[in-house]
Amino acid sequence: MHRKLFYPFLKGDNMATPAAEEIKNSKVEPLTRRKAWKALETHAGKMRETHLRTLFAGDPKRGERMTVEAAGLFLDYSKNRVTDETLRLLLQLAEESGLKQRIEAMFRGDKINVTEKRAVLHVALRAPRSASILVDGENVVPQVHEVLDKMAVFANRIRSGAWTGHSGKPIKNIVNIGIGGSDLGPVMAYEALRHFSNRDLTFRFVSNVDGTDFAEAVHDLAADETLFIVSSKTFTTLETMTNAHTAREWLLGKIGGHQSSVAKHFVAVSTNAAEVAKFGIDTANMFGFWDWVGGRYSMDSAIGLSTMIAIGPENFRKMLVGFHEMDEHFRTAPFEKNLPVLLGLLTVWYANFFDAQTVAILPYEQYLKRFPAYLQQLTMESNGKHVTLEGNPVDYTTCPIYWGEPGTNGQHSFYQLIHQGTRLISCDFLAFYRTVNKLGRHQDMLIANVFAQTEALAFGKTPEQVKAEGTPDWLVPHRVFEGNRPSNTILADELTPAMLGKLVALYEHSVFTQGTIWQVNSFDQWGVELGKALAQRIIPELENKTEPDLKHDSSTNNLIRRYRKFKE
């Protein structure tokens, strides 16, 4: 049952808001009233009783058939609890949800971020120079390339030693200060592409307002060889601005320099030139982006400046080419062969029809160690929503919880729960045929573990098999693996800059697919506001010398009083 309108201002004549216009034109039925949804509900009843052992036994070619290869990525989705009928219905759900039209609207630059009245054009960040994408009648592609070119000049100056600090020494250390999308992408990309990075440079990333983060990041750095990149779309974020001010004090304290040396040791990445100038950074050293780039979709914008300095402009461009290749695949491939669409639909399948609470991201590639953390913001800040685009409360589950660790570490910690726990956790295994670090038998062992895990999860071990191994009866139940635990296996050549771009775009568009089905706005994040506002109120209550007049609930008041009492 779809509940009534939540926000009365969207009713009747007030339908002139952009959100309402968008929705009026979309002609999409509420999710639970769509034909495919209802059919999936019935179908899921049967599928919940069906074991992957049966599905594989009934179709010897299943493991070859249920695969898709595109843009250099191979997806084996055969170890999912799906049949051809499931896929037909999920694809029908995508059609009925207007996915095709939504994709076109995004690529066209429509203001699909209706609550912030913005276009959503991270795809423009990797469009080739010759492309044309209009926002409010203006082609944004030349602006994108202008910034990329400016970044390249700057990155080369740092890499070559031509850019010098206050004492005339070249820069050796790059510290990116940012949080959320202004941190997670840069950290993840730096770690992922470390092999391609300039090893003469040291990279650090400061995000947390916890002073330890800054203190530890700089404790062994020479200030006169350090460049801070203050990365913040808004240039008002509490954590980033606090760390940026601390960095300025640290720098000036160390080099005993005048404020003017700030210009040699600080650059900014932001959409807010006024605040950048106020901070004292020369806006000539500011790298801009635009309100149509969401923070969590910005690692390939100027927010990737640290990445570009690390891997060089040429590799950065290769990464953009990878992104673009996946964009084109998403935009043009039929849904049944479309990697992001399939991944997105499978996530919807488990979240909504199997009550799955989480998705595990399991990269068997050490360089991708921060990829699960990166995906947490991308997925959960995008689709962790409780109302539809119109503001109606949803009557179905939206975004699952994403988490994960690189293999094989997780196998020796939480995989126990995936194999024998009581929850259904769908897993994405990511692996590469080749590694840049060829050490003995490591790679074969690593990949053997990927295949072993997906096999064990899907097929498990029956009581009969356990008994046949001579296990005493009392121990048998403990050693049984039910199996029927779903997974995707994604294989690719090697983790290169282009491949990283493809992988990130794959998940960006999977998130888009899911958000479209759930009819939520995947591009706002109002849910982060309340805590931020309350923190602003509480900060002076912790710092005031005189006892504050507290007006919170009794728990919060008590915690504040206790902290004040013990903090010195």
Q: Which of 27, 219, 258, 412 is the catalytic position? A: 412
Q: Closest by alpha carbon to 309, among 159, 164, 412, 453?
A: 159
Q: Which of 104, 138, 532, 543 is the catalytic position? A: 532
Sheet holding 425-432, edge to edge: 67-70, 73-76, 487-492, 425-432, 358-364, 401-403
Residues 6+ positions from 136 with CB-CB distance below 8 Å:
none
Instruction: Give DSSP secondary structure letters for 45-67.
Output: HHHTT--HHHHHHT-TTHHHHSE
Q: In this complex, which beta carbon is closest to ligand F6P, that of residue 207 or of residue 513? A: 207
Q: Closest by alpha carbon to 477, among 496, 464, 495, 491?
A: 464
Q: In this complex, which beta carbon is closest to ligand F6P, that of residue 76 or of residue 381? A: 381
Q: Please check whether residue 255 is in contact with residue 142, taking contact to mean a CB–CB distance below 8 angstroms.
A: no
Q: Closest by alpha carbon to 227, among 263, 190, 173, 177?
A: 173
Q: Which of 22, 191, 381, 541 is the catalytic position? A: 381
Which structure tokens are listed for 497?
């800059």
Q: In this complex, which beta carbon is closest to ligand F6P, that of residue 180 or of residue 515? A: 180
Angle at 403 between CA 407 and CA 510, to 5 degrees: 100
Residue 385 CB, shortest distance to ligand F6P, in Å, is 14
Q: In this complex, which beta carbon is closest to ligand F6P, that of residue 234 or of residue 411? A: 234
- Coil/strand/helix, residue 155: helix
Burial tier of 53 (Cβ tally within 10 Å: 0-12, 13-18, 19+)? middle
- Hey, which residues does 288 pair with through a beta bridge? 270
The answer to whether 216 is a known catalytic residue is no
- Coil/strand/helix, residue 138: strand
Q: Closest by alpha carbon to 529, among 75, 24, 116?
A: 116
Residue 528 CB, shortest distance to ligand F6P, in Å, is 4
Residue 99 CB, shortest distance to ligand F6P, in Å, is 24
Q: In this complex, which beta carbon is closest to ligand F6P, that of residue 78 or of residue 525? A: 525
Residue 463 CB, shortest distance to ligand F6P, in Å, is 49
Residue 301 CB, shortest distance to ligand F6P, in Å, is 11
Applying CB under 6 A, the residues found at the interface with ligand F6P are 179-182, 232-234, 237, 240, 295-296, 381, 525, 528
Q: In this complex, which beta carbon is closest to ligand F6P, that of residue 233 or of residue 419? A: 233
Residue 422 CB, shortest distance to ligand F6P, in Å, is 33
Q: In this complex, which beta carbon is closest to ligand F6P, that of residue 231 or of residue 516? A: 231
- Coil/strand/helix, residue 203: strand
The answer to whether 381 is a known catalytic residue is yes
Residue 235 CB, shortest distance to ligand F6P, in Å, is 7
Q: Are strands 173-177 and 226-231 parallel, antiparallel or unpaired?
A: parallel
One-letter amino acid for residue 64 of the chain: E
Which structure tokens are listed for 131?
């492309």
Q: Shortest Cβ contact with ligand F6P: which residue?
A: 295
Q: Report d(CA 56, CA 567) in Å as an integer.
A: 62
Give the H or E element holding residue 227: strand 226-231
Q: Please check whether residue 518 is in contact with residue 349, taking contact to mean a CB–CB distance below 8 angstroms.
A: no
Residue 185 CB, shortest distance to ligand F6P, in Å, is 9
The answer to whether 51 is a known catalytic residue is no
Q: In this complex, which beta carbon is closest to ligand F6P, that of residue 235 or of residue 429? A: 235
Active-site annotation, residues:
381, 412, 532
